[in-house]
Structures are given as structure tokens and as C-alpha cells.
A and B are shown apart, each in its own frame.
Chain A
């Protein structure tokens, strides 16, 4: 059983990394939903190939599905090119139609052959190690490990070879075109890569959860870094952590592995979304509070500065009446005064507030701005 644990985790990690790498470019190019479309639209391709080969593990199945995937991308782009349909609607039209054809084909003709709808849509990682590659009487390990391993290698090689081109086409497509980098070719290369990866991964995690592996780690990494190379590495790491933690969650609670991996993805994303420095929710909330106090404090020193040395100064700077002059509520005013006193922008003599040197400088600076 230990071997089984190990095999499943290895397959999960390889799948997650293979999905995360092209996913980085999809997230940056705002094309994440194309993976959703592809993963659903390959169904008719799989069904037709299955009718031809009558086996679910034939390599023809992967090829047929990948072909359907690229066809989906072509369809979506053809629809867009008519200028009658926007991109999102084109995606929303294409994949349900293809998927419907797949479902009808299955329920019409596949009743007497074994093709499980759930297996296609949801995958089952637990069974992945059972199908093993054997040669010369030796057990070489699970087939899906080899399939996903090959896809991972293809992805890594493609990204390494065309790193510069991918980067330029992603961040500045028109410059890439002007320099003769053929962004269209890069685009279709990437789409072919996504198709093959999706097809390979759906076997393990199913077509809906592939999307979690493709979009989740890169989007999480996107919150953490500004550098493409770092984002690729981070995505791979997040994907692996996610795969392993999801696996253990699943085995502790005895639930669907693919579902658990997607759930931990949500947790990891949520954690990063909350806590990442500068861009996280907590950081945003703290910045907003600080800005609120800073702004109120600046208002206070400007108010004091405006009336400084004038006859009404005494009335205007009385602590008890400040809230009337600034039209704040009294509690808030007390807190702002405390905040400004702490920062030594003002000093307090009995009931009067006076500006310190520093406070006066701040007020002058704020007024100039």
C-alpha cells in the first residue's frame, strides 16, 4: 500500500506541475477559460476515438482529444473573427455545443460499451497506479506516470526553448509581431500544449478539476511576484504542495482525491490572498486604515496651521470643540488627536492644541501639494 501512496502522489505532483507551467501563460494572457473550454470540448474527440479503438488507454485517444482541443480554439477564434460574437460568448457557445455532442454520442451508442461519464468528468486518481507499464516481464511503474511525465518534459522543453518568444508575445504582442516573432504561431503552440496537457491530466483528475490545476497555482503565484521566471517556479512549487496536501486530506477523510486537491487549492489561494505582503487582503486593510488616520491627522494640522497666530486661534484649537470645526464625530476626533500627539505633530497644553515644528512643516507641505 505504501507503494500505492507513493505512486499516486508522484502522479499528482507531475500532473500539477505539468498543468501549472502552461497555466502561467494562460493566466497572464487572460485566456484561462480556454482551458475550461478545451477540457470540456475534447469529450466528442475522446468518444469517437474510443469507438474506433474500444479502449480507454490507447494513445490514439490522447491524440484525438488533443486534436479536438485545438479545433475548439480554432472554432472560438473563427467565431470571434466574424466580429459578431465577443470572445467570452464565443467560448461559452463552443464548448457546451461540442460537449453536448459528446454526451449524446455516449448515451446513444455507448450503452453497450464501457465508457464511464464520471471517469471522464471527474477522473479517479486512486485507480491511476493500477494500470501499469510492463516490459520484458518487469513492472516499470504506472502508465499515467509515463504519460504525464512525457507531457511535463514537452512543456518544460517548449517553455525553455521559446522562453523569450513566449515572454514577449505575452506582455507585448504587437512588439513581438513587429520584431518578427510570429505571436500567432506561439499562440497556437501554447494552445496545442494546453490541449495535450489537459487531455493527459483529465485522465487523472477529470475535466473540471484540470482547470483548478491550470489556473490555481499560477494565479496564486501571480499575487506573490512580478517576475515571469519566478512566477513559473513558484507555480510549480505551489502545484506540488497542493497535490501532496490534497492527497493527504483525501486519504485522511477518505474522499475524492481530485476534489480534495481542488479544495486545498482554494485554501492555499485563500491563505495567500489574505496574507501576502503588499497585495494581500490584510495588507490592503491595514494600508487603508493607516491612510484614513494619516489623512485625518493631516486635516487636523492644516486646520491648526490655518488659524495659527490669528485672533480666533484659541477657539479653533480647543480640544473640546475641534470636532465642531472639522465636522467629525467627537470619538473620532479624540482618536485623531491621540494619533497626532503620538506622532508628535501637535502638542497639548491643557485644553489647547499647538503645532510642533514637525507638524507645521507637514501642514505646509500638504498645502503646497
Chain B
């Protein structure tokens, strides 16, 4: 009984982190669905890396480490990076993957240059690069949870408001354009929503692993359903689930970083979904295969009799 009370006492910080991770998983899971369906799974990777120079410039300009200012810088840089990717693809013959790779790595490199500049000024208040790369879920405070909840909520509401438009954009962009939907504006809207989700996630899981938070829940959800509505809902649930379970596992022992643990949890959910999801899953496929073979065999047996 005494043990339990210690646990509940300790659990306050843990609970805050878990709530933060759950909210984050919900937002990135839901929005990641669109990225995965549009075959832009790796856009998240690019945006999260491209955010580094934005954070550095925001810090250089304001000299403050206020999360909101850094988040704003990250969002602007991530957004600019995405626009650059889209215009390279639209205006040249360079394909999407190369455009993504160039923007991702060179923006990050520029961020690194700025980071070394900041380090050289000897400012004790400098933003940690490790935190940017790997996140630091343990530092999530109540006000961060509030920020994630508010901004993430706004992003999700916008997604719901433009549900029909975004659905059409995802499944038949040509048709959407032909009946007069502003597809380029919608594209930018969707990207901006992704940028919000990613920037919110940087603190918890970091730049390198943020893409997994967008991709994994959506891929898992895809296995269970063919309906967008259900897929978005399931992806949000899986994302939240991975966030909470990952946080709890990493708190059970020392020196297990939270971000990577959350990512591994999400990956396990994907593995289970790919194996066992009804209709699409590998196990299901095997069973159907054997059933077909058996019925074929009985049919031929009957014929040969």
C-alpha cells in the first residue's frame, strides 16, 4: 500500500508527460494519415530537419528560449522548406525524393552552422542540439501540454472543417482541380497542418524520430479499414496508445529515452496490424490461401473420382 502511494506521488510528472505524449500521438496520427495516403510519408522527416535553422534564427534574433518563439521559428523554417520542395518538383524535372533529400540535409546543415555560431558566442542560454535531435519528453510541463492541446486541437478542427476538400485532394487530386477546388491552396493548408503537428512533437520525440510518429500510426490504421473516417480515428488512437505506453515503459527503468521507446511501441502496433488485421493481414492471407487450396483439392478429388 505504501509502495502504491509513492507511485501515485511520482506519477504526477509521469502523468503530465503521458498526457502530452498521448495528445501528440493523437494529432500526429490523425494528420499523418493524409501524408501516408498521399505517399508523402517522408515529408515529415524533411520538415522536422528543416526546422533547425528556424529555431536557431529565432534564438539569435530574440535571444530568448521561450518555447512559443522557438516553435514559431521552427514552423516558419519547416514551412519554407516544404514550399521549396514543392516548387522544385513543380518547376524542374528533379523528382520528389531528391528534392526532399536536398532540402532536408541542406537546411539541417545550415541550422548546424547557425548552431555552432550560437555556441561560439558562449551564450549560456543556448538551445540544446541534442534536445532538438532526440527530444526530451521528461521536460514536458503542464504549459507544454496546454500548448500541444490548444494548437493540436486547432489543427484537428481545421482538418474536420475541410474534411470533404482534403478527402478529395487525397484520393483524386485531378478531379478536385477539375471541379474547381483550389488544390494548390489545399495542398499548402494540409502541409501547414503537418508542420504544426511536427513542430509540436519536436520537444517530445525530436527531429530524427518525428517522422515515425506521423507514419507508423497511419500505416497501422490502414490495415484495419478502407474508410478514411475510421482510418483517421484509428491512427489517432494508435498514436495516443503508443505515446502513453512508450512513456510508461521508459519510466520503469533508468536511462531508457522516451522518444525512441514511443517510436518502437508504434512500430510494434504496425507489426501486429500487418500480421493480424482481418482481410489484409498476413496471417489472414495465409489462412485464405490454405482454405482455397483445400477447396481446390476437394474439388479436384471429386472430379477425379
* Complex alpha-carbon distance, A117 and B130, angstroms: 9
Among B94, B98, B260, chain A packs the most CB atoms within 10 A around the CB of B98
CB-based contact B117/A255 at 8 Å:
yes
Give the shortest distance, in Å, between A356 (CB) and chain B (any CB). 37
CB-based contact B110/A91 at 8 Å:
no
CB-based contact A36/B101 at 8 Å:
yes
Interface stretch of the complex, out of B8-16, B40-48, B57-65:
B40-48
CB-based contact B92/A259 at 8 Å:
no
Give the shortest distance, in Å, between A191 (CB) and chain B (any CB). 15
Interface stretch of the complex, out of A57-65, A148-156, A207-215, A307-315:
A207-215
- Neighbouring B residues of A96 by C-beta, 8 Å: 208-209, 211-212, 215-216, 263, 267
Among B36, B102, B130, chain A packs the most CB atoms within 10 A around the CB of B102
A 313-326 binary contact with B (CB < 8 Å = 1; else 0): 00000000000000
* Complex alpha-carbon distance, A137 and B256, angstroms: 45
CB-based contact A100/B113 at 8 Å:
no
Give the shortest distance, in Å, between A146 (CB) and chain B (any CB). 26
- Neighbouring A residues of B264 by C-beta, 8 Å: 97, 100-101, 104
CB-based contact B102/A89 at 8 Å:
no
Q: How many chain B residues have a CB neighbour from A under 8 Å?
A: 64
CB-based contact A99/B109 at 8 Å:
no
Contacts A82-B282, A118-B130, A254-B120 given; does A92 touch B98 at CB 8 Å: no
CB-based contact A108/B255 at 8 Å:
yes
CB-based contact A31/B92 at 8 Å:
no
CB-based contact B42/A223 at 8 Å:
no
B41-78 CB contacts (< 8 Å) to partner A: 41-42, 44-45, 49
A236 within 8 A of B: no
- Neighbouring B residues of A216 by C-beta, 8 Å: 102, 105-106
A46 within 8 A of B: no
* Complex alpha-carbon distance, A32 and B45, angstroms: 14
- Neighbouring B residues of A35 by C-beta, 8 Å: 101
Contacts A36-B101, A208-B108 given; does A273 touch B117 at CB 8 Å: no
Contacts A30-B97, A32-B97, A89-B36 given; does A104 touch B261 at CB 8 Å: yes
CB-based contact A103/B106 at 8 Å:
no
A33 within 8 A of B: yes
A 126-148 binary contact with B (CB < 8 Å = 1; else 0): 00000000000000000000000
A-B contact pairs, 12 of them (CB 8 A): A32-B97, A84-B280, A89-B39, A92-B211, A96-B267, A97-B264, A121-B208, A209-B112, A215-B102, A250-B113, A260-B109, A269-B106
**Other CB < 8 Å A-B pairs besides A88-B40, A219-B98, A269-B106, 10 of them?**
A32-B100, A92-B211, A93-B267, A97-B212, A104-B256, A212-B105, A218-B98, A223-B94, A255-B116, A259-B110
**Interface residues of B, Cβ cutoff 8 Å to A:** 36, 39-42, 44-45, 49, 88, 91-102, 104-113, 115-117, 120, 129-130, 133-134, 208-209, 211-212, 214-216, 218-219, 222-223, 255-257, 259-261, 263-264, 267, 270, 274, 280-282
